[in-house]
Amino acid sequence: MKRAAITGIAGQDGTFLARGLLKRGYEVHGLLQFPFDREAPTLLRRYPKNEFDAVRWSTGSLEDPFSLVRFLKSSKPDEIYHLAGLTDSRQSFLVPEESVLSITLGTLRLLEAAREFCPDAKIFLASSAEVFGEPAETPQSEATLMNPVTPYGIAKLAADHFGRLHRAKYSQFVAIGHLYNHESPLRPPNYLSRRVCLGVAAIKRGEAQELQLGDLSAERDWSDARDIVNAMWLALQAPKPGDYVFASGVQKRVEDFVATAFRSAGLDWKQFVKTTVRTSNHQQVTNGLCGDARKAETELGWKRAWSFDTMVADLVQAEIENRSELDRANPLARPA
């Protein structure tokens, strides 16, 4: 039985990944940021009891190298999926030092601990499209110039470089995935995708008359999180490690997302959406991010099950149905 260690297991991607690996017959070890008693109620809503009991839970912090050592020594993993760290690129302007501590130094500490205690383990580092900054070309591939323009993007790029260093100097199997926007019904309410879909459901039920949003011209490359975590797994099944772009290859505007969400509920978005103007420059979203995933498709055999339309429709339907977290976290869900 293969053993997998997952940092960031309590998040959207970590949940889908852990449940998917359990179904593949893995022994799964998960690192929680907060004490188990605090995390357990949320986890129990996302995992069937048998899967919850099967996961070997640990508590630790990326800022505490000793907890990472304990985690790897106890799990003895064949595969490590490093998903933990700050995730909000816009908020990283407010906490730049914390971004570097969590993302860059946290990744380095994990790599060093793995080099010492499980040097043969295959490692996946979850990077970001933010490393491309204001992109030099569209779409972006693994060869595109990386010039991040946020503290988050800079921290991610530095972490990636440490991954490449360990791959080259210490022969560690380190795969790096540049993840573009990916959504699921597990997104917290503060994310745009969830906020839009909650608004659509409220309007559909007659509980609201309008939805207020910011700039609808911002561009995104959206995928489904369930496709993305499958790509992570495929990256560690490859014969050799590499860098990969995981994206849909299709650029959409926020307006497209909003229109699709309302249309899936049989509504015309123009009748309900009111827009407001952002005033903070550093909160503005970079346009032009669109990934070229041909390397992942060719080398890993990655295929996406979810289109943009089916993904958005599923997000909306989850809110209209008031779907349970257990159903939202199903890694085997497929488009209707």
The answer to whether residues 314 and 333 touch, using CB atoms and an 8 Å cutoff, is yes
Is 201 a domain residue?
A: no
Pair type for strands 219-220 and 252-253:
antiparallel
112 vs 287: CA distance, rounded Å = 35
Q: List the catalytic residue out of 130, 183, 255, 319.
A: 130
Question: In this prediction, what percent of the chain has a pLDDT beyond 70?
Answer: 96
Residue 75: which domain range?
A: 3-183+224-250+289-305
The first and second tokens of residue 137, run together, are 């070309």
Closest by Cα among 86, 162, 78 to 125: 162
222 vs 180: CA distance, rounded Å = 7
Question: In this prediction, what percent of the chain has a pLDDT beyond 90?
Answer: 88
69 vs 211: CA distance, rounded Å = 47
For the stretch 260-286, pLDDT in tens is 999 999 999 999 999 987 655 545 556
Q: What pLDDT, on the 0 to 100 scale, is given for residue 273?
A: 97
122 vs 80: CA distance, rounded Å = 6
For the stretch 290-301, pLDDT in tens is 999 999 999 999
Is 124 a domain residue?
A: yes
Is 103 a domain residue?
A: yes
pLDDT for residue 89 is more than 80: no
pLDDT for residue 96 is more than 90: no
Is 81 a domain residue?
A: yes
Q: List the catalytic residue out of 152, 193, 255, 264.
A: 152
- Residue 264 is among the residues annotated as catalytic for this protein: no
Cα-based angle 70, 73, 79 (whole degrees, multiple of 5): 115
148 vs 59: CA distance, rounded Å = 31
Mean pLDDT, to the nearest integer, of 107-131?
97
pLDDT for residue 189 is more than 80: yes
Which domain CATH number covers 245?
3.40.50.720
For the stretch 35-61, pLDDT in tens is 999 999 999 999 999 999 999 999 999
Q: List the catalytic residue out of 127, 128, 184, 193.
A: 128
For the stretch 228-237, pLDDT in tens is 999 999 999 9
- Residue 217 is among the residues annotated as catalytic for this protein: no
- pLDDT averaged over the chain? 94
Q: What pLDDT, on the 0 to 100 scale, is given for residue 284?
A: 53
Q: What pLDDT, on the 0 to 100 scale, is given for residue 93?
A: 79
pLDDT for residue 168 is more than 70: yes
- Residue 191 is among the residues annotated as catalytic for this protein: no
The first and second tokens of residue 239, run together, are 């014969």
Residue in the block written with tokens 């790096």: 176
Number of structural domains the chain divides into: 1
pLDDT for residue 98 is more than 90: no
Can you list the alpha helix ranges (DSSP code H) found in the chain? Answer: 12-23, 36-46, 49-54, 65-75, 96-99, 106-117, 151-169, 192-204, 225-235, 254-264, 294-299, 308-320, 325-328
For the stretch 303-333, pLDDT in tens is 999 999 999 999 999 999 999 999 999 999 9
Give the count of beta carbons closer than 10 Å to the beta carbon of residue 48.
14
Is 235 a domain residue?
A: yes
Is 161 a domain residue?
A: yes
Q: Who contacts 128 (Cβ-Cβ below 8 Å, separation ≥6)? A: 89, 152, 153, 156, 178, 179
pLDDT for residue 256 is more than 70: yes
Is 300 a domain residue?
A: yes
The answer to whether residues 304 and 227 touch, using CB atoms and an 8 Å cutoff, is yes
Q: What pLDDT, on the 0 to 100 scale, is given for residue 239?
A: 98
DSSP 295: H
Is 206 a domain residue?
A: no
Mean pLDDT, to the nearest integer, of 211-223?
95
